[in-house]
């Protein structure tokens, strides 16, 4: 019996340090929105003339992590981007029942 194994998903956290600007937060969320990704946690704090924003997703396609990090780094005013991958989650669909089975492994 074989299982269909689509692209692996992983937990990811992006930390962005940037110059404080009024339109910064929507620009940080845009790379996620254009890929139909909905963040699970968004946290931003201002420290003087800088903003530290963290965006966390519990599951996103593994191949998109570097793409989103690259887009975040292209935003005007961004000083640094850190992308961290967490545990890998591989949803598998059983071909006979079309049910989804979640298998988690430590990354």
What distance in Å separates the CA atoms of residue 78 and residue 24, rounded to the nearest whole number?
A: 9
pTM to 2 decimal places = 0.76
Range(s) of the domain holding residue 28: 9-105
Q: Is residue 27 part of a domain?
A: yes
* Position 74 in a domain: yes
C-beta atoms surrounding 95 within 10 Å: 10
- Structural domain contains residue 1: no
Q: For residue 2, is it within any domain?
A: no
- Are 90 and 3 in contact by the 8 Å Cβ rule? The answer is no
User: Is 3 part of a structural domain of the chain?
Assistant: no
Q: Is 38 left (phi over 0), alpha (psi -120 to 50) or beta?
A: beta
Number of domains in the chain: 1
Question: Tell me, what's the pLDDT at 90?
Answer: 62
pLDDT tens, residue order, the chain (107 aa): 445 557 789 999 999 999 999 999 999 999 999 999 999 999 999 999 999 999 999 999 998 999 999 999 999 999 999 999 887 766 544 444 444 444 443 33
CATH of the domain at 62: 3.30.70.260
Query: Is residue 70 in a domain?
Result: yes
């Amino acid at each position: 019996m074989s299982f269909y194994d689509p692209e692996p998903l992983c937990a990811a956290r992006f930390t962005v340090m940037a110059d404080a600007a009024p339109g910064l937060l929507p620009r940080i969320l845009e790379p996620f929105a254009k890929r139909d990704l909905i963040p699970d946690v968004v946290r931003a704090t201002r420290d003087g003339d800088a903003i530290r924003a963290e965006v966390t997703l519990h599951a996103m396609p593994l191949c998109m992590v570097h793409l989103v990090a690259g887009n975040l780094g292209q935003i005007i005013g961004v000083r640094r981007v850190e992308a961290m991958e967490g545990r890998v989650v591989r949803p598998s669909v059983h071909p006979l029942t079309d049910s989804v089975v979640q298998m988690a492994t430590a990354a």
